[in-house]
Structure 1
Amino acid sequence: MFPQRNSFYTYSGFVEAANSFPAFTNTGNSTVQRQEAASFLANISHETGGLVHIVEQDTSNYPHYCDAGQSFGCPAGNDAYYGRGPIQLSWNFNYNAAGNDLGLPLLTNPWLVEQNATVAWQTALWFWVTQSGAGSMSGHTAMTSGAGFGESIRSINGSLECNGGNPGQVQSRINLYTNFTNVLGVPTGDNLWC
């Protein structure tokens, strides 16, 4: 599935992280479960170039992910909250929330996400299962409620890609999702676009 995968992204790290999120790929019937797996795999593949990249590649964006208006600020530095891990967790408020929920000091040490494979997978699954991002539901809920793959895109990067923002990026995600559903032997379902 990921022939060029960076060795950082270990299967053991993924399994350990997934144990903390029992609803992930365990909600609904077997078709829904596989569609959720395909959706997650497609989105992380898109975000990381096929699990190749651990950190966001455009370093010019790094200083933009500090929302200084948050009461907790940016204690690790204004340029420390760039995208990391399978889902490219970014922004100080996401590191703060993920750290609080996972019991990790991610606000003060966001580098843990690029240094520890289990932590990287935990942040990806945390965002996937619990966060709605620019959407109205998490990626997990989008796939298990029947809202469809397009809504999973909206939760991850909808403010930049959906509603015509970047149709090429949306199509890339759809192509990956279609590939993964074929590998897992399930239909794509409806509502692929956002």
Structure 2
Amino acid sequence: MPATAASLITEKLFNELFPQRNKFYTYASFIKAIKEISQIKVNVTRRAVSVYQIIRTDKASGKATIVRQDVDWNEAWAKAKPDSSYEVDYSKFCTEKNAATNKKELAAFFAHIAHETRGGVDDTFTDGLMYIHEKNTTSAYIAENDEYPPVAGKKYYGRGPVQLSYNGNYGYAGDCILGDDKILLNSPELIETDPVLAFKTAIYFWMTPQTHKPSAHDVMVGVWQPKPADKAKGRAPGFGMTINIINGEIECNKGEDLYNMKDRMKFYQYFLTKLGGKDTANCSCGKMQPYLYGVNE
């Protein structure tokens, strides 16, 4: 049996890796989030690029529910287009492969959440998980979205370990994690008050492919392999590809000295060493072309 995510890290080590963390982020909350979200899997089918159906299964009860079916799902023009389907089983978080690969995945996950929430001194690697939400909360982070429209008066700025942002991501996360998109659209502040939910949003974001991007999980465990078009754009398996997925437009294809990219890479190597692993393959995205928003690649 592969190691579970909980078996890869003890409470003592978690506390050592995040010594300056906000008291909101506890080891117990992280482990509880893993256990609870592991009971969920979703089957996503996409028609005509942007017409979705999401079936969410609660593995504890065996109940499968359609939590999203876009209004054009049964239109003839949509049905005429080929479907693409995939399953996201959240129990595979840091468990899918052998111990060495699982450690790489956990180190990569920690590197990104540490970078996104850090607030201390460079290269000390002690300052991850310091922020529950982004420092500047003036922006609403609202984008037009037919399926996940914003609620009047609510802001969807970055919250939680991955700084989940925008109404579309809040709605999609609500569908997958909670089986109801309205919960996080109506009450985005829940991510700031429920640490288990906060960690679940991070695991959701890590595990769930985006429209034109693979999931960071699939990259780290080797499920994703580049197509010829990806290879032509410099995309290759490894930690660097996860940077491309998470913030490629800002941090990738800009050379090897970009601060944010390097910070993520250094956190990755630090955490990997602490977890007893090693990795030297394709950790940079300095020569990878980013994905362009709204472009099918």
After TM superposition, give the deviation of residue 70 of structure 1 in Å: 3.3
Q: 2:269 aligns with which of 156, 173, 178?
A: 178
The CA RMSD over aligned residues, in Å, is: 1.9
Structure 2 contact 105–221 (Cα < 8 Å) conserved: yes
The residue type paired with residue 7 of structure 1 is: K
Q: 1:168 aligns with which of 252, 255, 259?
A: 259
Partner of 2:25: 9
Q: Does 1:101 align with 2:176?
A: yes
User: What percentage of residue pairs aligned between the two structures are identical?
Assistant: 39
The residue type paired with residue 135 of structure 2 is: Q
Q: 1:39 aligns with which of 108, 118, 123?
A: 108
After TM superposition, give the deviation of residue 185 of structure 1 in Å: 1.5
The TM-score with structure 1 as length reference comes to 0.91
| Number of residue pairs aligned between Structure 1 and Structure 2 | 190
Partner of 1:85: 160
Bigger radius of gyration: 2
SS at match of 2:283: coil
- Stretch moving more, 109-118 or 151-160: 151-160
Structure 1 contact 70–93 (Cα < 8 Å) conserved: no
Higher relative contact order (CA 8 A, sep 6+): 1
The residue type paired with residue 123 of structure 1 is: T
Q: 1:143 aligns with which of 207, 211, 220?
A: 220
After TM superposition, give the deviation of residue 76 of structure 1 in Å: 4.7
Q: State the distance in 2 between where 1:87 and 1:131 align.
A: 15
The TM-score with structure 2 as length reference comes to 0.60
The residue type paired with residue 59 of structure 1 is: T
Residues 137-183 of structure 1: CA distance to partner in whole angstroms, max 9, x if unpaired? 11111100171101111221112211218821000000000101111
Q: State the distance in 1 between where 2:250 and 2:258 align.
A: 10
Structure 1 contact 56–84 (Cα < 8 Å) conserved: yes
Name the structure where helix makes up a greater proportion of residues: 1
- In structure 1, runs of 5+ residues without a counterpart are none
